[in-house]
Structure 1
C-alpha cells in the first residue's frame, strides 16, 4: 500500500483532471469559465489562502489554464515510455514551452515555507506567499506541479488508456492499469468486442 499523496500531488492531479470525459463521448473542461474556476478553488480550501473568498478574473483564468496545459504536457512526458492521455496527445505543448510557462507562472509569487504543527500530528511545511505578498493562484498551482514532478509520487504517475478516458492517476498497486474500476470494465469489454470482430 502506497503512502497518501502529498498536498502538492493532490493539487497537481486535481488541476490536470479538470480535463475529463463526460461519460457521453465528449471531453469537457471544468475550468471553462470564471464561475467554474471559483467553484473549483472553493472546493479545495487548501489550494489558496482565503479560498472561500476567492474570485477569479479573466487574466487569472487564462493563467490557470496555461499552467494546466503545461502540466498536461509534462505529465505526458513523465509517463514515458507509456503513452500520454489521449485527451490532448495531439495538441500537447512542446516540452520546452511547457517548462517555460510553468516556471514563469511559479515565479510570479515569492513564497516561503511555513511550518504548521497542530495537536498530536507531526510537523507539516506548506509553501505560502512571502510576507506582504499576494496569493497568485497560477503561481501556487505551478509550484504544486513542480513539487509533484520533482517528488517521489511522479514515479507512480500513469495515463489511463481505457476507451474514452482522459485521466492521469497514481498507480496504487503493481497490477493497476486503469484510473478506476469502471475504466477497467470498459477496457475489458472493448478488448472482448475487438477479439470477436477479428474472429468473425
Structure 2
C-alpha cells in the first residue's frame, strides 16, 4: 500500500484551489523539499534544486497521464486537456525508474531484504517511478478513480462502493452543479 499512497500523493500535488483554478504544491524547490521530507523519502538533509523539481514534475505528468487511462470514465474534464500521450508517459516512467541502480539492503532484527536506489541526483525520481510502476501493475490500481466534481483534478482510491468523489466538498460541489443545471433547464423550457 505504501507504493499506492506515495504515487497517489505525488499525483495529488496538483489539486483544485477552491477558487476555480488548480493549485500546485511543487512550484519551487522548497515545495519539493518539504514534500520529500513529509514523506520520509531520501536522507533528512535532502534539499531539492531546480533540476530535481523539473524531473519530479515531469514524472508527475507521466503518472497523471497513466492514471487518466486507468480510471473508469476517463479523467476529469478539468484534467483532460493537460495529459501526455501514453507512449511519452510510459517512456518517462521507465527512464526515471532505470536511472539509478538498486542496492539490496538487509533489515534487522526482523530479517528482510529491501531494494533501495543507490544515492545520486536521480534517486528521488527513481524511487517515485518505481513506486508508480508497482502501483500501476498491482491490484490497488483497480480502486483508482478520477474525481468528476466540477473543476477537480484529483484522483483517489475508492474505499467504499458508493464513493464517487475524492472528498466531501467535491460531492457538495457536484450536487450544487447538478441542481443549477436542472434549474437552468427548467427556466429555459
Instruction: Please say whether Structure 1 and Structure 2 have the same fold, judged by a TM-score greater than 0.5.
Output: yes
Gaps of 5+ in 1: 1-5
Q: Is the 1:9–1:145 contact (alpha carbons within 8 Å) kept by the matching residues of 2? A: yes
2:89 to 98, 110, 130: 98
SS in structure 2 at match of 1:91:
coil
Conserved 8 A contact 1:85-1:168: no
User: What displacement does 1:76 show?
Assistant: 0.5
C-alpha distance in 1, partners of 2:149/2:109? 42
Alignment of 1:108-147 (within 5 A): 108-112=99-103, 114=105, 116=107, 126-130=114-118, 133-134=119-120, 136-147=123-134
Moved over 4 A (4+): 112-119, 123-126
Contact 1:76–1:83 (Cα < 8 Å) also in 2? yes
Partner of 1:88, secondary structure, is helix
Deviations 1:6-44, CA, capped at 9 Å, x for gaps: 111111001000111111111021111111111111111
Q: 2:153 aligns with which of 144, 166, 190?
A: 166
Aligned CA-pair RMSD: 1.9
Corresponding residue for 1:178? 165
Structure 1 SS opposite 2:81: helix
Aligned twin of 1:76: 68
The equivalent residue for 2:20 is 25
The 1:118–1:19 alpha-carbon spacing in structure 2 relative to 1, beyond 3 Å, is: farther
* CA–CA separation in structure 1 for the residues paired with 2:179 and 2:169: 15
Q: Deviation of residue 88 (structure 1)?
A: 2.9
Unpaired stretches in structure 2, ≥5 consecutive residues: none
Q: Label 1:57 to 1:182 Cα distance change in 2 as closer, same or farther (>3 A).
A: same
- Is 1:15–2:10 an aligned residue pair? yes
- Give the superposition deviation at 1:125: 6.0
Q: Between Structure 1 and Structure 2, which shows a larger proportion of helix residues?
A: 2
How many residues are paired up? 186
Partner deviation per Cα, 1:112-148 (whole Å, 9 max, x = no partner): 45464668xxx77644125xx4361111111111011
Q: Normalising by structure 2, report the TM-score.
A: 0.91
Residue 192 of structure 1, CA deviation:
1.1
Correspondence for 1:58: 50
